[in-house]
């Protein structure tokens, strides 16, 4: 598989996880977010997937798009995976409600067009 194809697949994974976050937190207040472990843990899991997908993007792709804060996204994934006792719920809620929708929009704009299906013979 060509790197460009892998990059598109990883962007798609990140977009799907971002959309999942949107579904989990739609209409949820910060107080409810903190009180409901299932919602909080689901958001954290999807953020981890976004970070892992972004980490797998080719270096050349990330370097070609410095407008996206790749290091911070990957860094958040590392915190969620390895420094879970230091998670700031307010920070995660802000990321989920304000920054993830922007990231999803940025990634969608970078996805290559889907090639048309071949014509039947």
Does pLDDT of 89 surpass 90?
Answer: yes
How many angstroms separate the CA atoms of 58 and 54, rounded? 9
Q: Which of 12, 56, 82, 91 is catalytic?
A: 82
Asked if the model's pLDDT at residue 2 lies above 60, the reply is no
Residue 53 has what pLDDT? 97
Q: Domain-by-domain residue ranges, the chain? A: 3-110
By the 8 A CB rule, do 50 and 43 touch? no
Q: What is the pLDDT of residues 3-42, one digit of tens each?
A: 557 999 999 999 999 999 999 999 999 999 999 999 999 9
Residue 77 falls in the annotated catalytic set: yes
Known active-site residue 71: no
Task: Give me the pLDDT at residue 30, please.
Answer: 97
Residue entry with tokens 């700031």: 88
């Amino acid at each position: 598989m060509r790197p460009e194809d892998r990059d598109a697949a990883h962007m798609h994974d990140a977009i799907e996880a971002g959309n999942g976050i949107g579904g989990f937190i739609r209409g949820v207040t910060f107080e409810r977010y903190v009180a409901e472990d299932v919602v909080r843990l689901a958001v954290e899991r999807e953020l981890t997937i976004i970070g892992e997908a972004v980490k797998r993007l080719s270096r050349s792709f990330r370097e070609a798009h410095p407008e996206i804060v790749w290091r911070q996204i990957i860094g958040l994934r590392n915190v969620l995976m390895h420094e879970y006792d230091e998670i700031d719920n307010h920070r995660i809620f802000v990321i989920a409600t304000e920054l993830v929708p922007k990231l999803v929009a940025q990634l969608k704009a970078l996805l290559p067009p889907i090639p048309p299906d071949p014509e039947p013979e």
